[in-house]
Structures are given as C-alpha cells and as structure tokens.
Amino acid sequence: MRKLTNKYQISQELYPNILISLTEAVNNAIRHGNRSDEEKLVQIGYKKKKDCLRFTISDEGKGFDYQKLPDPTAPDNLIKCGGRGVFLMRELSDDVCYQDNGSTVELTFRL
C-alpha cells in the first residue's frame, strides 16, 4: 500500500479510508465468500482512472444479496459483533459496486 500511496500521492486523510475499506472487503471475501476455505483464493487488483483509484476484490464464493443486509445502525444491531463491513465500505469510499452476484466488489476513491 505504501508504494501506491507514494505513486498516486494519496492524502493522509484518504489513506485510512482506503485501508479500512480494503481490509473489510478482503475479510468479507475470506470469511463469508470463501467460508475460510484455505483452498480458495481472493484476488485483489486496482486501476488508476483519471482522478480516482478503483480496487477490485473477488472471492470464489457464490456471492450474496448485498441489497438485503441488516442495517448495522438499527438499535437491535448496535451491540452485535460484526455486520458492519459493507456499511463501512459504503461510508468510507466514494462508490461501491458489486459484480458476479456479489462475489466481486469494486471500491472507488477519488484522489
């Protein structure tokens, strides 16, 4: 990540948003997508487009319905452990797009 930070002059304000979002996406891919199966891979890629960086994280799972996730800010969910990864990615990135039935997530950050 340090090479990308220097290469694309990622600001100190944006860096933690990218780091947290990528961490959540990769953790979700490992735990939920691949169900912690060590034989399955998670692929991570990125592309620089004009004034943004786009990261793609893909797992080998079946995907999920990203439109039907419980609201982690609902009173019943506030004290639950977990369930905030997608929420954090949406809040910290400029755009979140799912592909392949939810087994691929694309995170966009404006530079």
Mean pLDDT of 6-31: 96
Is the model's pTM score more than 0.85? yes
pLDDT tens readout for residues 84-106? 999 999 999 999 999 999 999 99
Query: Could you tell me which CATH class the domain 2-110 is placed in?
Result: alpha beta
CB atoms under 10 Å from CB of 79, counted, come to 6
Phi-psi region of 87 (alpha: psi -120 to 50; beta: other; left: phi over 0): alpha
**Whole-number Å distance between alpha carbons of 69 and 83:** 9
**Whole-number Å distance between alpha carbons of 71 and 32:** 18
pLDDT tens readout for residues 28-50? 999 999 999 999 999 999 999 98
CB 17 within 8 A of CB 52: no
